[in-house]
Amino acid sequence: MASSRRFDIGCGWVMWTVILGVACMFVDQRYFNMWQQWKQESLKCVYNPQEALARVHNLSTNLQKQVFGQHLALKIVTNALYAHHKTDKPHKALVMSFHGPQGTGKTLVSQLIAEHMFQDGLDNPHVQFFIGPKHFLLDPDKLVENQAYLISRLETARKTCSRALFIFDEIDKMPGEILDALVPYVDHHRSIDGTDYRGLTLIFLTNTGGPLIKKATIALMVNDRVKREDISLEHFSESIAKNAFTEKGGLCKSDMIWKSLIDYYVPFLPLEKEHIEACAKRDIVESNTLFITPEKVAAKVDYTTYNQLEWNTQHGTRKFANDGCKAVRALVNFYAEEYYALQGNPGTG
């Protein structure tokens, strides 16, 4: 009898376990379907100017918190996006070209734009991200294939979203003329084959002009005694365009420049030690490694120092980081692992 009762109890537990398991499957499936439906709805391209402007406002706030030493670039970018999105019928596609030394924030700014303007950022199907040497054939004889590929991607993205975003990284490593395929789509045409492309946004990222911008920044601050925060677009725009047109890369002798279709040449200035410390503090907080000091990280970055013999005495000695904030995250990770190893718990970070 006891054995029989234990068998009945065991069967009862198995039966209830099965019932609960099946019920959970139905509940999980229901919530999964609801989540999938919500996800699909959130990824739909339904444009509302007021909502877009709110997104630009939030972007502006976040840029101030995450990007340092780039007052000029942030002002240009937010103003350009605001002007482009305040109407549902802009006069042309927005085209911005980010120029400057490596590690100054060009990629970060483009990523933040994607994240604030679209759900899931770079993973959103309405955001098209290209890396020059990866997505395009480097053989100059493959120009026709490259341009056909680019046009196909652009036209396909536009079919699903009139406000699609295109980001082209490392265009300085692309063969010339590929980007000329974009010219008809970013010109002032009201439509091409019945489709309006004027709502699109295109962003080019390049190190082209980096040495020029660094040299000009130092000259302005040393010779002309211009404060960093007073440097304006007028100091750079013409020289950046000329440099991009003549220097080897995706914009070399490009019709994009020749026909004045790039709306904004955005200079990213070389970073000083205080900006490296700000980058380090940001990454330390994000990685929850508050036992690391920003000063310790910044001390390991390579700088070019301009002493008081070259600077007027009101400015004092200045240090410009040779590679900007590019190595900061790796240094934070290194010091974190070093700390955890000393604590006898490597890899906790």
Domains in the chain: boundaries = 49-267, 273-342
106-117 vs 49-66: helix axis angle to the nearest 10?
150
Asked if residue 142 has pLDDT above 60, the reply is yes
pLDDT reported for residue 46:
75
Closest CA to 65 of 285, 253, 310: 285
The pLDDT tens digits of the residues spanning 215-259 come to 899 888 766 778 899 999 888 877 899 888 888 888 988 999 999
Determine the pLDDT at residue 37: 47
Q: Round to whole Å and give the CA distance between 120 and 115.
A: 6
- Is residue 110 very low, low, confident or very high in pLDDT (cuts 50, 70, 90)? very high
DSSP annotation string for 34-75? HHHHHHHHHTS----HHHHHHHHHHHHHHHHHH--S-HHHHH
**Amino acid residing at 263:** D
The reported pLDDT for the residue numbered 139 is 86
pTM for the full predicted model: 0.84
Q: What is the pLDDT of residue 235?
A: 86
Q: For the domain made up of 49-267, give the CATH fold.
A: Rossmann fold (3.40.50)
Helices of type H across 67-209: 71-85, 106-117, 132-135, 143-160, 183-186
